[in-house]
Chain A
């Protein structure tokens, strides 16, 4: 018997046993277990017996012995659900206004955020259709200064594939435009010259033939479906021979692929193999290590460490790159999945849209939550009865959840229908691409379900917890003031809601102010009345004849009274395309070398754009002949640290000839004001080509355009005359920003509407609760204005509080946004004040209106009942 005192069953298995076994079996089983344990102690020793005991406790987990943790007498769930639905519907009808506001608000918020979600989803879908897309990279190089140059030299990609086993395949990708001729028919097409391994890097869907076969030998071409249709109509394109007019080459169609989807950064209409590349392109194939004008892509083996590969590629650069690139540039790999964001630069835009979506969703969920809570608090008697009749907390929660879920489902369905109808409008007016099919995609479905359930859970869980925890007597009494329970919580929600709307308003104001600022800044050139047009021999049917005519055309145009000035240039401001080269001073000791943007212009460029040459002189046809002079902008001169232009020369990278710097032009904005002004060099060439910029006489614009059109048609072009005004084109640079501005305006309005609706119903509710108080006050002689004041004060204070706590957040966020712009406005307190005052006025109006209504009502009505 001493055993008993000495050896007790191990403690925690025993407590597990006591916890899980049905109480009515407890004594017996615990006794049996203990008896067995003591037997085991004698038989096996204490240690083993203890283990054995624990093991036996595990074996006690049998349905017949376990305590029924859900042993409540549950009525038929279907009946209960029917009951919930019925009471839910009655309440819906009883509080019709609230319920409609609730559904409408939720549907509105849901529509807005679903649209934004689809937009973001689309932007994220770029290039994802390629198989193993995460292993595809674009080859680029990075200057030690940090600038990325995404162009490569001709031999780089094939050699990289050859030397690195990690690189499975690679292709060069060089684009050009040409007219395709087939059977007297001319179609302009964007064709790309690619390596035969193109199809092992990318996966564009083949319709007929095989891309890799087609690209394997010269003289063959791959067409996209739409181009094939354009040329051949309904005839089969396969095997037909067509010619590229300016390349002067014939090709046989060997494959037809689907058009590259819109969400592909790689676009083409036709592909021709590198073996058919025009001679100038492939010239000096093994030695052309200086000219960078094509793009290249590689596919690496799955699991390759990108950084490691890049390190290895540095050795490649050291081995092959030209002397002046060595050590200054390193080869980098740009993931294809990031390519769209890199090019469009709209990752920031997407972040902002994401913030807007979350803010709107938050506002509408809070609305929903606040309204549901108000409604449930009205129903304390019902809840009390349910509790007295044996309703469990989880049953109350599931009742509220059912109601919330029904409202959410209705709102979500309404929202989805609206979204579906709105998509075409969004595509057209906001210029956002949305794939309508993605409405049914997995991620969208998950998003919808998450929102639906999230809102339902959020709106029902909190009141359920509060109400189910309260004493039934208090609930039945109906004496239950929401000011004490959760008043703080709900006020917090209102503050959050207002903070979100204030953020959106001030953000929108700042976006517009920044756009306004960029548009009104002095660009240091005048693009109004300047017409730009494409102008190069390949645009005309007889290039040789066109070339001859073009030489005299400039002079002829100058003689027209409607035309003030004509300039040939390879680039006009606002349409600048990146073209860099490095230029060094010819000093034998310590030459200074910098990367400059380069332009080739004729002698009337600065005159036509009214740019100011502030030092030295403008180009002069007679003095400069056709050679080797250049004009820098101020930024470039500063970079070289020159104070005068005496005997200043520059030599271009790759061993070009010496160029004399003869003048300095005042820094002008050749690109949008979100970019800073970089050093630019302007080369002189009397027949600079590509674009024609024509300054028209301000009073004779129509006539000037007519002259240009006549001259254009004289050259026998493939296509009809088209032109653009340089200032308008420049403003196009802000299209993305205006899109952002417009979007945020619309969504900001939605947010304010939602927040206003929330405030409206909540203040109506709280005023109703204080109806008696107002009646008593009035009877005792309070003035209407003092009642309005006392009713609105609380809500107004919340708005002020929201404003105060959001300001620092907004300041930080917007400063980060504005830092993206090289030329930016500063954040003045006025913008903040404007946004704050606006929200304040709106909320005062809403609350004040209702307070006034309550205050002017005769106290008889408020006091008569009870």
Chain B
């Protein structure tokens, strides 16, 4: 595997985007991650991760519909690129292989 420059937080964000499918826009990603990580996040941290990921080619985005709660502003819906999917699966395989060869440390 080549170096993918994917940070831990970025990986979480990618997974969240995959999870949310059509609902994958900033605030929803933030809510999801906050629930799962059990930790408050700022809009800035999510947004900068999204922009970075988009720039690195892990995400594509399109503008979504307007909701009144957003003061008339459109959402931006994110979607995983196939490259991202490949990288995520690759990461997972590597991890599983490693976990499997570590019998003593398996999850109880």
Q: Which of A247-264 contact B (CB under 8 A)?
A: none
Q: Are A60 and B27 CB-contacts (below 8 A) given A31-B73, A34-B71, A35-B69?
A: no
| B48 touches which of A33, A35, A38, A65 (Cβ 8 Å) | A65
CB under 8 Å from chain A, chain B span 18-45: 25-27, 30, 42-45
| Inter-chain contact B75/A56, CB cutoff 8 Å | no
Can you list 28 pairs linking A and B with CB atoms under 8 Å apart?
A25-B51, A27-B73, A28-B25, A28-B26, A28-B63, A28-B74, A28-B76, A30-B71, A31-B70, A31-B71, A31-B74, A32-B27, A34-B70, A34-B71, A34-B73, A35-B27, A35-B69, A36-B30, A55-B42, A56-B42, A59-B43, A60-B42, A60-B47, A62-B44, A62-B48, A63-B48, A64-B51, A65-B47
The chain A residue with its CB closest to the CB of B31 is A39
Interfacial chain A residues near B26, Cβ < 8 Å: 28-29, 31-32
Is B92 an interface residue, CB under 8 A from the partner?
Answer: no
A-B contact count (CB 8 A): 78
B71 and A60 within 8 A (CB): no
Q: Are A35 and B70 interface neighbours, CB within 8 A?
A: yes
Q: How far is the CA of A383 from the CA of B67 in the complex (A)?
A: 51
Interface SS of chain B: helix
Q: What's the nearest-Cβ distance from chain A to residue B43, in Å? A: 5
Q: Which residue of A lies closest to B71 (CB)?
A: A34
Other-chain residue from A25, A35, A38 in contact with B47 (beta carbon distance below 8 A): A25
CB distance from A679 to the nearest CB of B (A): 85
Most buried by A among B25, B30, B44, B75: B44
Query: Restricting to A694-738, which residues have a CB under 8 Å from any CB of B?
Result: none
- Find out whether the CB atom of A60 lies under 8 angstroms from the CB atom of B44: yes
- The answer to whether B52 has its CB under 8 Å from any CB of chain A is yes
Which residues of A lie under 8 Å from residue B51 when comparing CB positions?
Answer: 25, 64-65
- Decide: A33 and B75 in contact? CB cutoff 8 A: no
Whether B44 and A1, one on each chain, are in contact in the complex, defined by CB atoms closer than 8 angstroms, is: no
A222 and B44 alpha carbons, distance in the complex (Å): 75
A61 at the interface (CB under 8 A from B): yes
Question: Judging by beta carbons under 8 Å apart, are B43 and A36 in contact?
Answer: yes
Chain A residues packing against B (C-beta within 8 Å)? 1, 3-4, 25, 27-36, 38-39, 55-56, 59-65
Query: Could you tell me if B43 and A64 are in contact, using CB atoms closer than 8 angstroms?
Result: no
Q: Which residue of B lies closest to A31 (CB)?
A: B73
In the assembled complex, B7 has its CB within 8 A of some CB on chain A: no
CB closest residue in chain B, given A27 = B73
B42 and A59 contacting across the interface, CB-CB below 8 Å: yes
B30/A28 in contact, CB under 8 A? no
B104 within 8 A of A: no
User: Of A4, A27, A38, A56, which one neighbours B43 at CB under 8 angstroms?
Assistant: A56
The 10 closest A-B pairs by CB, nearest first: A31-B73, A31-B70, A32-B26, A59-B44, A59-B42, A62-B48, A60-B44, A64-B48, A28-B76, A64-B51
List chain A residues, Cβ under 8 A from B68: 1, 4
Known: A4-B69, A28-B25, A36-B30. 11 other contacts (CB 8 A): A28-B26, A31-B73, A31-B75, A32-B43, A34-B69, A56-B42, A59-B44, A60-B47, A62-B48, A65-B48, A65-B51
Which B residues lie within 8 Å of A38 (CB)?
69
B85 to chain A, nearest CB (A): 23
Residues of B within 8 A of A56 (CB): 42-44
Provide the bound-state CA to CA distance between A32 and B51, in Å: 14
> Which residue of A4, A27, A59 is within 8 Å of B74 (Cβ)?
A27
In the bound assembly, the distance between CA atoms of A35 and B52 in angstroms comes to 22
- The docked-state distance in angstroms from the alpha carbon of A55 to that of B40 is 13
Min Cβ gap A690→B in Å is 89
Q: Which of B43-79 contact A (CB under 8 A)?
A: 43-48, 51-52, 55, 63, 67-71, 73-76
**How far is B73's CA from A34's CA once the two chains are assembled, in angstroms?**
9
Are A65 and B44 in touch, CB under 8 angstroms?
Answer: yes
Bound-state CA distance A35–B75 (Å) is: 10
Give every chain B residue within 8 A of A30 (Cβ-Cβ). 71, 73
Closest Cβ of chain B to A635, distance in Å, is 85
Q: How far is the CA of A4 from the CA of B69 in the complex (A)?
A: 7
Docked pose: A63 CA to B26 CA in angstroms:
18
What CA separation (Å) do A55 and B43 show in the bound complex?
10
CB distance from B54 to the nearest CB of A (A): 9
Among residues of B, the one whose C-beta sits closest to the C-beta of A8 is B71
Chain A residues in 8 Å Cβ range of B43: 29, 32-33, 36, 56, 59-60
Across the two chains, which residue of chain B brings its CB closest to A66?
B48
Residues of B with C-beta under 8 A to A60: 42-44, 47
Could you mark each residue 67-98 of chain B with 1 if its beta carbon is under 8 Å from any beta carbon of chain A, else 0?
A: 11111011110000000000000000000000
Chain A's closest residue to B66 (CB) is A31
Partner of A4, one of B25, B30, B46, B71: B71
A3 and B67 CA atoms in complex are apart in Å by: 13
- A411 → chain B, closest Cβ, in Å? 49
A64-B30 CB under 8 A given contacts A4-B69, A59-B44: no
Alpha-carbon distance A142/B106, docked complex (angstroms)? 93
Which residues from A are CB-within-8-Å of B69? 3-4, 34-35, 38
B44 → A minimal CB distance (Å): 4
Establish whether residues A29 and B47, one from each chain, have CB atoms under 8 Å apart when the complex forms.
yes
Chain A residues within 8 Å of B47, by CB = 25, 28-29, 32, 60, 62, 64-65
A3 to B70, CA, bound (A): 11
Residues of B within 8 A of A28 (CB): 25-26, 47, 63, 73-76
CA gap between A244 and B46 in the complex, in Å:
91
| CB proximity of B31 to chain A, nearest CB, Å | 8
CA distance A65 to B44 in the complex (A): 8
Of A59, A64, A65, the most chain B CB neighbours within 10 A belong to: A64
Q: What are the residues of chain B within 8 A of A61 when measuring CB–CB?
A: 44
Known A32-B26, A35-B27, A64-B52; contact A59-B71, beta-carbon cutoff 8 A: no
A401 to B83, CA, bound (A): 50
Give the shortest distance, in Å, between A826 (CB) and chain B (any CB). 76
Q: Which partner residue on chain B sits nearest A4 by CB separation?
A: B68
Q: How many Å from the CB of A771 to the closest CB on chain B?
A: 60
